[in-house]
Amino acid sequence: MALVKELKAEKEDVWIPSVCNICYSNCTIRARRVDGVLVKIEGHPEAANAGGGGRICAKGQSGIMLLYDPNRVNYPLKRTNPEKGIGIDPGWQRISWDEALDTLAAKLKEARQKDPRSITLTFSAVDTLSFGFTAAWWMALNYFSNWWVSGAGPHCGNGEHAMAAILHGAIHTQVDYDHCNYLLMFGCGAGAGMYYNATASMRWIADAKVRGMKVVVLDPLLSTPAERADEWIPIKPGTDGYVALSMINLLVNEYNLYDAEHLKTHTNAPYLIKKNGKYMRDRETSKPLVWDAGEGKAKTYDDPTIKDFALTGTYGVDGETCCPGFQALKDHVKKYTPEGAASISGVPAGTIRRITKEFGEAARIGSSIEIEGHKLPHRPVGVLYFKGAQAHKHTLWTAMALSLLPEIVGAADTPGSLLGSNPRCLGYPETGLPRWEPIEGPDGLLIAGSWIGPPPSALSEVKVPENISLQEISPLSVLGTGQPFTLLDPAKYGLKYTPEVLLMTGCNVIMTHTEIPKVAEAIKRFPFVASLSLHLDEVTEFADLILPEASYLERYDLPQPPTLAGYHNSAILKEWLTSLRQPIVEPLYERKPRHEIIFHLLDKLDLWQDFAATYNMVAQLREPYLLDPNKRYTWTEILDLTLKSHFGEDHNLEWFKKNGVIKWKKKPEESYWKHFMKLRVPIYFEWFVDLRERTEEVLRQLTYGEELDFSDLQPLPDWGPCASHEEKRPGFDLYAFYYRVPTHTFSSTYNNAWLDDLGQIDPTVYNLVMNEDYGKKKGLKEGDWVWIESMYGGRTKGKLHLTQGVHPECLAIANCGGHWSKYLPIASQPEKGSCFEWLMKLDPKCVDWTVQNWDLCVKVKVDKA
Amino acid sequence: MRLGMAIDLKRCAGCYACVAACKAENGTPPGIFLRRVMKEEAGTFPRVRRVPYPIQCMHCQDPACKAVCPTGATTQRADGIVLVDDEKCVGCRYCIMACPYGVRFYHAKIREYYPGQGLTVYEELMYKLHPTGVTEKCTFCVHRVEKGLEPACVANCPTKAMTFGDLDDPESEVSRIVRDRRGMQLRAELGTDPSVFYLSP
């Protein structure tokens, strides 16, 4: 050995472009393979302006340890112990692939003959395969009926997603960091290796900060994003909505800081509202009316002769008194004073006034900016919120309030502001594909052009639930969360079929849903459970059959959903990007890529035609690249056709294997679509009145209807307490809540040896975070083991970290640690975190049914273990 | 020539990507981090700040570790990079005691990342670069620097918080930023004259 040490290849030393999948951000990477061994993962330099920013987070670099983890499952296995339960060893026995596929195909065939809906499919948001592929095989197998997306409800953003759809035509939002000067964040991990565009947004925020953008974080915890903010404002859990409403009140009623021009042109703020909460409509056309202050009379909202849209005042039309939606908002928020907000949230009224003023003034209402030859309104402020703010009983209200805050100052889909991510794509210039854009719905309001399911709008249907998720009753919800309820009591929920097969892919629903023992019981109700797995984790304890899956480093994929605004694409006016995921090494042992496993099943079930028809549609294939339903393709052949279809004959699979990335310039017409399309968004959610009526009509037909509360469906948001706010029993004096850290992805990375090593450097990763003064008062010390007892009765254990950086009334629990599977020897060590779900209760009262989101805020009692 | 680094704490997100980049580039064994991110908390609730700051070998101009090394294993190159020659190192660990920054590690024996389960193929390959019984530290990724590349932590930082270059060249980016932002050395009072500078948040 000498002074300079370096890895030397004997035969081979190559860099291979690909795409990460350690979280849902799908950053573009390149990986170095030396003599057949993956030795390094880096960000792909070509993706500097999107798709990871050319760098890669700690999690992404640690993919090496996922590939080579000796605890990965490498062979098909079947259960020998008929008894299923938490901590009960299934007695795995190795079997052949032939036996595994035959068994599974036979079970699926039998179930399909009874009712295709008797099959339930799971996946997780982290597990991002081509959306076209997933949609197509689900459609083939069970007509896209029953699915169970891991974390949907407890860990995803059902409230934010609904608001992103309704206000921005997108699945989520980002901030135009390149032009933003003031960013408010409520319980969100943006800029710290979490949230969407996990890696790239770190640099965008850093660049903006250097340029002078101020970042203010409201969060009960001095979280990683709060550490790097200019200001951390501690807030009690579940009160963000109240603070936002008081800020709106100050802006519209006290400071007169709102963007009248934006409200008149781009929103339904001028639409006249009657006493019953609905639009005043034109007798002839049924179109909503507005008041033309110029002529002093009512006109339809799209009348070209309107001189000036009235935003305030009350008017008599057709003998009825009505007022513009904006006036209704003004009146509605009056009761939300900063003093009231202070008493609920713990944020001083003076602080609320100051940040509201800063925010309103920073919006520079009336200013404009020239971008690529277009003069556009410049509203350089943003509001980001995610799980922390919305994981509460009144998710919808909180999401509405936090989304209206930027909207009223005009900070929506304009330079510097909050942007939908990404509502409009005009396609690769040579082909015009993929393409999507918002369309005009009823009353001139926008409907998202691309979403995960049907986007929420006035046209949303409410149906008697037939699927185990109960999603059909909540069209605002992107993903249903009712599965444990229906599975445990199918008669009550009126299931017209018996659940037969649960086929799980890439998720751990036991640790990421709710009350763990009940969810376990629910899974046991499936007579047959099969899992495509990387590891033998907690949920596989309930499986009958395990199919060993190739990881993202061992397979091909086109991870960005072709017709869906990919998580990796920047909302900002930078570049569009598509990249190919390809194997860095061939699948090790007997692992197989999911595509191959599914295609074998489709063959055995004779469902290839169904697959091809859906794939052609969802992946937007065009002639001559359409799949022939009578032909059997390999996955790489399908990818080749898909890529050529979108990017032209020259950009085939071989081209992508070599180059990895295709990118093209984003247009202002895409990022700032609002100024190029005549569409309005609501600031007064009038159609919620009708939606509630229609929902309640359906609820009346249901035996369990009374248990599902939809009373929050109202045109303007209020604030209401969570059950935790009303828990007053002695001893239950801490709000436990959940947060995310930059070194783990939900429950999925806890057996990654590098991330585990890294996690031990930072005391907030595995420990329960408690305020130092509270701890001292209770005689608790750093490193003490404690029992946490939930107001609902659940218990779990953890190790304490005491800090000044958390609200004294709170106990913060990171991600989804606390694994117990003995097949995860690192993750299951007792000091590797706690699982929040032990503290939850499977109770309809803990869900905001309007968006099917769980309340993850629980009062707890802490005692030394 | 004096190679050095400026770390902009205004940019640093405390995300640990540099820690992983160092581990991935050098294949360091369990528990050995040639670069770490420390987080320092100050103040009392609700007025409290926590500032993340990465640390590593500071490649001091007057390295305390070199002065105490009895075998001459720790040397300093003309470009300022401080290195350990593992053929000369006898593992006495005086240097670990002498280093004011706690950034040297003693590699006692090969350990597995998955205890009791054998070395992964990656570890088998990479641990050849990590002999036992000797001291290890950050080399500024000298093997990359010699090829004209930046150290791995610098090249991968998601926020571009670091600037690497020649501190002796007043025109270099690193010299300019240290001058303009009044870069500070950690524990400058000890007189070791570190080549890593911190720019205030």
Q: Look at residue A630 and give its three-state secondary structure.
A: coil
| B113:A753 CB<8 A | yes
Of all residues in chain A, the one with the smallest CA distance to B75 is A3
Could you give the count of Cα atoms lying within 13 Å of B13 in the half-sphere of its Cβ?
33
What confidence category does residue A564 fall into, taking pLDDT thresholds of 50, 70 and 90?
A: low
> What is the distance between the alpha carbons of residues A565 and A99, in angstroms, rounded to a whole number?
39
Position A528 pLDDT exceeds 90: yes
Distance between B122 CA and the closest CA of chain A, angstroms: 6
Interface residue of A32, A185, A222, A777 to substitute, partner B, most B CBs within 10 Å:
A222
Q: A191-205, A562-576, B150-164 — which one is most confidently predicted on average?
A: B150-164
Q: Let me know if A191 is exposed, middle or buried by CB neighbors in 10 A (0-12, 13-18, 19+).
A: buried
* pLDDT average, residue stretch B128-151: 97
Q: A19-28, A75-84, A149-158, A462-471: lowest mean pLDDT where?
A: A149-158
Burial B126-161 (b: 16+ CB within 10 A, else e): bbebbbeebbbbbbbbbbbbeeeebbbbbbbbbbbb
Is A193 within 8 Å of B36 when comparing Cβ atoms? Answer: no
Q: Check residues A453 and A1 and name the one with the higher pLDDT.
A: A453
Dig out the tokens for A70 from the structure.
């000796």
Q: Is A444 helix (H, G, I), strand (E, B) or coil?
A: helix
Residue A761: alpha-carbon gap to chain centroid: 28
- Give the domain CATH number at B194: 3.30.70.20
Beta strand B82-84 with B74-76 is: antiparallel
**C-alpha closest to that of A572 among A48, A162, A44, A204:** A204
Q: Does residue A657 sit at the B interface (CB-CB below 8 Å)?
A: no
Q: Which of B145, B159, B162 to mutate to test binding with chain A, by most A CBs within 10 Å of its CB?
A: B159
Tell me the mean pLDDT in the region A830-849: 97
Residues 745-764 of A with CB under 8 A from B: 753-754, 757-758, 761-762
Instruction: Give CA angle at A255 (A250, A256), nearest 5°.
Output: 105
Which of B85, B102, B64, B86 has its CA nearest to residue B194? B64
Ramachandran area for residue A732 (φ above 0: left; ψ -120 to 50: alpha; else beta): beta
Rounded Cα distance, A382 and A417, in Å: 5
Could you give the number of structural domains in chain B? 1
Contacts for A754 with CB less than 8 Å, ≥ 6 apart? A61, A62, A64, A65, B20, B23, B24, B113
Q: Side chain identity at A421, as an amino acid letter?
A: S
CB contact (8 A) between residue A227 and residue B52 = yes
Contact A192 B14 (CB under 8 A): yes
To which residue do tokens 């979403």 refer? A451
Residue A570 has pLDDT above 50, yes or no: yes
Interchain proximity B19–A58, CB inside 8 Å: yes
Q: Report the C-alpha gap between A245 and A255 in whole angstroms.
A: 14
Write down the pLDDT at residue A48. Answer: 82
Q: What proportions of chain A, in percent to the nearest 5, are helix, strand and coil?
A: 30, 20, 50
- Per-residue b/e over A147-157, b at no fewer than 16 CB within 10 Å? bbbbbbbbbbb
Sort out which chain B residues have CB atoms less than 8 A from A772's CB and list them.
45
Residues in chain A within 8 Å Cβ distance of B177: none
- Let me know: does A672 contact A416? Beta carbons within 8 Å: no
> A128 with A567: CB under 8 angstroms?
yes
Supply the pLDDT for residue A434.
86
Given pLDDT bands bounded at 50, 70 and 90, which one contains residue A123? confident
Find the DSSP H helices in chain B: 17-26, 64-68, 94-98, 121-126, 142-145, 152-156, 173-180
| A782 part of contact set with chain B, CB < 8 Å | no
Chain B CA closest to residue A757: B31
ipTM over 0.85: yes
A634/A613 Cα distance (integer angstroms)? 16
pLDDT of residue A569: 79
Domain limits at B116?
3-199
pLDDT at A562: 46
pLDDT at A153: 82
Nearest to A646 by CA among A573, A582, A560: A560
Nearest Cβ partner of A228 from B13, B21, B75? B13
Nearest CA in chain A to B26: A6
Mean pLDDT estimate for chain B: 97
Does the beta-carbon distance from A70 to B120 stay under 8 Å? Answer: yes
Chain B nearest CA to A41, separation (Å): 8
**Nearby residues of A41 by Cβ (< 8 Å), 6 or more positions away:** A20, A29, A30, A31, A32, A56, A60, A61, A63, A64, B24
Q: Which of A1, A35, A202 sits opposite B15 (nearest CB)?
A: A202
Rounded to an integer, what distance in angstroms lies between the CA atom of residue A570 and that of residue A48?
11
Across the interface, do B156 and A742 touch by the CB < 8 Å criterion?
no
Q: Lowest-confidence range among A73-87, A120-134, A655-669, A783-797? A: A120-134
Calculate how close chain A gets to B190, using CA atoms only, in Å: 26
Contact yes or no for A70 and B118 at CB 8 A: yes
Rounded Cα distance, A156 and A386, in Å: 8
According to DSSP, residue A727 is labeled: -
pLDDT at A53: 84
Q: Which of A48, A40, A53, A44 has the alpha carbon at shortest distance from A17?
A: A44
Residue A4: pLDDT band (50, 70, 90) is: confident
How far apart (Å, rounded) are the C-alpha atoms in residues A335 and A312?
Answer: 18
Q: What is the DSSP letter of A250?
A: I
Beta strands in A494-553 (DSSP E): 501-505, 528-533, 545-548
Mention every residue, 6+ apart, whose C-beta is less than 8 A from residue B39.
Answer: A227, A762, B14, B50, B51, B52, B53
What's the angle, vertex CA A253, arms to CA A248 and CA A257, rounded to 5?
Answer: 70
pLDDT of residue A126: 72
The answer on pLDDT for A25 being more than 90 is no
A137 phi and psi angles, rounded to 5 deg: -75, -30
Q: Which residues contact A801 (CB under 8 A, 6 or more apart)?
A: A763, A764, A767, A768, A769, A770, A782, A783
Strand ranges inside A345-470, DSSP E: 368-371, 374-377, 381-385, 418-421, 439-440, 446-447
Nearest CA distance, A803 vs chain B (angstrom): 8
The dihedral region occupied by A640, where left means phi > 0, alpha psi between -120 and 50, and beta the remainder, is alpha
Chain-chain contact of A5 with B83 (C-beta, under 8 angstroms): no
Q: Which residue has the tokens 């998580």?
A: A567
Q: Which residues of A touch B201 (CB under 8 A)?
A: 228
The backbone torsions φ and ψ at residue A794, rounded to the nearest 5 degrees and listed phi first, read -70, 155
pLDDT tens-digit readout, A768-802: 999 999 999 999 999 999 999 999 999 999 999 99
> Pick from B13, B20, B156: which is nearest to A191 by CB?
B13
Structure tokens at A583: 């194997």
Whether B19 and A758 lie within 8 Å, measured CB to CB: yes
Tell me the pLDDT tens digit for each residue of B67-121.
999 999 999 999 999 999 999 999 999 999 999 999 999 999 999 999 999 999 9
- The beta-carbon neighbor of A42 closest among B13, B156, B161 is B156
Note whether B36 contacts A35, CB cutoff 8 Å: no
User: Of A390-399, A568-577, A849-858, B24-33, which range is least confident?
Assistant: A568-577
Residues 6+ apart with CB under 8 A from A338: A246, A249, A250, A349, A350, A352, A353, A356
Burial of A302 from C-beta contacts in 10 A (0-12 / 13-18 / 19+): middle
Partner-chain contact A209 B10, CB within 8 Å: yes
Instruction: Give A149's pLDDT tier (boundaries 50, 70, 90).
Output: confident
Considering only the beta carbons, identify the residue of A57, A232, A773 that sits closest to B17. Answer: A57
Distance from the Cα of residue A778 to its chain's centroid: 37
User: Could you report the per-residue pLDDT of A97-112, keeping only the tens digit for each?
Assistant: 999 999 999 999 999 9
Q: How many CB atoms lie within 10 A of CB A801?
A: 22
Chain A residues touching residue B44 (CB < 8 angstroms): 773, 804
| B19-30 average pLDDT score | 97
Of B20, B27, B50, the CB nearest to A222: B50
Contact A315, A291 (CB under 8 A): yes
User: How many angstroms separate the CA of residue B84 from the nearest CA in chain A?
Assistant: 6
Chain B contacts in chain A segment 220-249 (CB below 8 A): 222, 224, 227-228, 232-234
Confidence of residue A560 (pLDDT cuts 50, 70, 90): low
For chain B, the distance separating the N- and C-terminal CA atoms, rounded to the nearest angstrom, is 28
Q: Which two tokens stand for residue B43?
A: 């103040």
A804:B45 CB<8 A: yes
Residue A143 scores a pLDDT above 50: yes
Helix or strand holding residue A486 (H, E):
helix A483-488
Q: Is A292 helix (H, G, I), strand (E, B) or coil?
A: strand
Q: How far apart are CA A850 and CA B5, in angstroms?
A: 53
A697-712 residue pLDDT tens:
999 999 999 999 999 9
**Chain A residues inside the 8 Å CB shell of B160:** 203, 206
Q: Do B11 and A771 touch (CB under 8 A)?
A: no
Question: In Å, how far is B54's CA from the nearest CA of chain A?
Answer: 12
B21, B27, B43 ranked by CB distance to A804: nearest? B43
Interface test with A, best of B114, B129, B137, B177 (most A CBs within 10 A): B114
pLDDT value at position A565?
53
What domains does chain A contain, in order, with CATH numbers?
77-150+461-548 (3.40.50.740), 176-422 (3.40.228.10), 723-864 (2.40.40.20)
Please give the structure tokens belonging to residue A124. Answer: 């997780």
What the block records as the tokens of B117 is 């389960």
Say what the pLDDT of residue A475 is: 96
Contacts of B115 in chain A (CB under 8 A): 825
- Of A39, A62, A772, nearest to B20 by CB-CB distance is A62
Tokens of B36: 């770490």
Partner residue opposite B125 with nearest CB, options A7, A224, A234: A7
At CB < 8 A and 24+ separation, what contacts does A440-444 make? A440/A678, A440/A679, A442/A687, A443/A268, A443/A271, A443/A279, A443/A287, A443/A288, A443/A301, A443/A686, A443/A687, A444/A268, A444/A288, A444/A301, A444/A302, A444/A678, A444/A679, A444/A680
Report the percentage of chain B scoring pLDDT > 90.
100
Residue A62 contacts B, CB cutoff 8 Å: yes
CB contact under 8 A, A192 and B21: no
A736 phi, psi to nearest 5 deg: -90, 135
Which of A4, A5, A230 is the mutation pick for testing B, counting most B CBs within 10 A?
Answer: A5
Q: Using one digit for the tens of pLDDT, what is the confidence trace for A265-296?
A: 999 999 999 999 999 999 999 999 999 999 99
- Measured CA to CA in angstroms, residue A363 lies from A184, A357, A417, A578 at distances of 12, 10, 8, 33
Q: Is A586 on the interface with B (CB under 8 A)?
A: no
Where does residue A331 rank: exposed (0-12), middle (13-18), buried (19+ CB within 10 A)? middle
pLDDT band at A736 (very low <50, low <70, confident <90, very high): very high
Q: How far apart are CA B140 and CA B154, in angstroms?
A: 10
Alpha carbon distance A116, A705 (integer Å)? 26
Which residue stretches of A185-287 are H helix? 200-211, 224-227, 240-249, 260-266
Gap between the Cα atoms of A247 and A360, Å rounded: 9
% of chain A exceeding 70 in pLDDT: 99
Q: How many angstroms separate the CA atoms of A545 and A589, rounded? A: 18
How much is the average pLDDT of A83-94? 97
**Contact residues on chain B for A40, CB-CB shorter than 8 A:** 24-25
